[in-house]
Amino acid sequence: MNIIEEGNFKYIETKGGPKNLVLLHGLFGALSNFEDLIQHFGSKYNVIVPILPIYELPILSVSLGGLVNHLQDFVKYKGLSDINLLGNSLGGHIGLLFALEELPLLRSLILTGSSGLFESGMGNSFPKRGDYEFMKAKTEETFYDPKVATKELVDEVFEIVNNRGKAIRIIATAKSAIRHNLSDKLHNIKVPSLLIWGRNDTITPPFVAEKFKELLPNARLEFIDKCGHAPMMEQPELFNKILEDFLEKL
């Protein structure tokens, strides 16, 4: 995928249609996480994936607030409106914070495995940076089927946590996410919302999805069986079908 670099922004954009579908990746996310989704929707929608500067922000600016500010600047720079905003994991959390500040710019909000209410992180075991087998096991826990954690994916996560600068930013961002519990604010997000959740998600378990549905005023919840924390990677065909149905009915 051709990554566009303009000013402080890196992103991809398909320009496949007039409607905007903006995708927000998670803490360990990459463009590859959305590969099937981009292929499916890229020719029908203007699919835009801003690459969030999780590892590039100055250390004192590392926080969810810093990432939301970057997204706001990007949306303003691109002149986007009527946005269908989709976020996975930490990307969902950023999407929620963006929605609370920029609701008129949104057409819909789609969350999958989102943080913001509860998430089970790496816990005290995170500092085991040099142990490849440990990081392989942790990456496999993201999915119902551990085979989805390919060697390329494990290598990518291993490289991130063994880079001291990136590891520090990961920990700071994760701590910032825990501080930003949104349970008392979600009632303000009144746009149509779709929750697509893995029934076997151990990081943001199914009860988290149920709580999101309870607190968001206009939400629809769809569970996918035999699926973990990243449904768009693990069950892409079903994920895309659910999303397409939702977008067409808007």
Instruction: Sketch out the chain's domains with CATH numbers.
Output: 4-120+181-249 (3.40.50.1820)
Residue 60: per-residue pLDDT: 79
Whether pTM exceeds 0.75 = yes
Which pLDDT score is estimated for 121?
56
Distance, CA of 134 to CA of 144 (rounded, Å): 17
Tell me what pLDDT residue 56 has: 87
Burial class (CB in 10 A: 0-12, 13-18, 19+), 164: exposed
Is the distance from CB of 24 to CB of 116 less than 8 angstroms?
no
CA quadruple 121, 126, 132, 135: dihedral, nearest 10:
0
Q: Print pLDDT tens along the chain (250 aa).
A: 789 999 999 999 999 999 999 999 998 877 889 999 999 999 999 999 999 999 888 887 888 999 999 999 999 999 999 999 999 999 999 999 999 999 999 999 999 999 999 876 544 445 466 789 988 998 999 999 999 999 999 998 899 889 989 989 988 998 888 888 999 999 999 999 999 999 999 999 999 999 999 999 999 999 999 999 999 999 999 999 999 999 999 9
Alpha-carbon distance values, 71 to 9, 77, 93 (Å): 9, 10, 12
Coil, helix or strand at residue 28:
coil
Q: Could you tell me if 188 and 103 are in contact, meaning their C-beta atoms sit under 8 angstroms apart? A: yes
Tokens standing for residue 100: 């609370």
Rounded alpha-carbon distances, angstroms, from residue 231 to 23, 72, 89, 136, 238: 14, 26, 11, 19, 9
- pLDDT for 84 equals 98
pLDDT of the residue at 123? 45
What is the spatial distance between Cα 85 and Cα 21, in angstroms, rounded to a whole number?
A: 6
